[in-house]
Every structure is written in structure tokens, then in C-alpha cells.
């Protein structure tokens, strides 16, 4: 389950930010997760709750914003929605579609006090 290591990485970023800002508590963490990123949001939420136990982020809400998959079709040049990494272009049927959005995962916002 790679979500555990991802949750640990998010916690490290959150703790570093909280320390830099001299915060006492983290209330909210907002993550953007691409639909093509192979991250299971519910598993990540479970892991986040586990790794934050006893930390400055203990009890913090985790909000996940889904980023849609978008790709560029090499043969026809169309910008197309993608549901899977190796999907086909809905316009020309080619499987040469390069993802341009939806593979990322980033901490978008941290609410501290």
C-alpha cells in the first residue's frame, strides 16, 4: 500500500510548514489528487489518520480535491479527457495519448492555528 508512504510524506510537509509558521495545531489539509495518479483517496484518508496520531496534525480534517485526467493525442492533436493512463482518444481512436493533467498529487492548502 503506497498510500501509507504518501501519507507520511504529506505529514512531513505539514509538520515542516507548521514548525516554520510557529503553529500550535493543524486543523485542515487540502490535497489535490489526479484521477490518473494511482492513489486511492479512501486508503490515503485512512493512512493519514493513522500517521497523524500523536502529531501536531492529530485530528486534522483531510479534504481531497479530484483533478480530472486530461491528455494530448499525438496523432490528431486533440486535448481529450482521460479516465485511464493508457486509454484511447475519443476523437481518432489512437492509443498515443500523453497525459497532461491528472497524474499529480500536491498539498494545496494547510489551515493552522
| pLDDT value of residue 1 | 55
| pLDDT value of residue 87 | 86
Beta carbons of 106 and 9 less than 8 angstroms apart: no
Domains with residue ranges and CATH for the chain: 3-112 (3.30.2320.80)
What are the pLDDT digits (tens) for 37-88? 999 999 999 999 999 999 999 999 999 999 999 999 999 999 999 999 888 9
Phi, psi for 99 (deg, rounded to 5): -60, 135
Q: How many CB atoms lie within 10 A of CB 91?
A: 13
Amino acid at each position: 500500500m503506497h498510500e501509507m508512504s504518501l501519507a507520511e510524506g504529506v505529514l512531513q510537509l505539514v509538520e515542516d510548514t507548521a514548525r516554520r509558521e510557529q503553529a500550535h495545531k493543524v486543523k485542515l489539509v487540502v490535497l489535490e489528487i489526479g484521477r490518473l495518479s494511482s492513489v486511492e483517496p479512501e486508503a490515503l484518508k485512512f493512512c493519514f489518520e493513522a500517521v497523524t496520531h500523536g502529531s501536531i496534525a492529530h485530528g486534522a480534517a483531510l479534504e481531497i480535491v479530484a483533478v480530472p485526467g486530461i491528455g494530448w493525442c499525438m496523432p490528431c492533436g486533440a486535448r481529450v479527457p482521460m479516465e485511464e493512463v493508457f486509454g484511447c482518444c475519443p476523437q481518432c481512436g489512437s492509443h498515443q495519448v500523453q497525459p497532461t493533467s491528472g497524474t499529480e498529487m500536491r498539498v494545496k492548502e494547510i489551515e493552522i492555528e
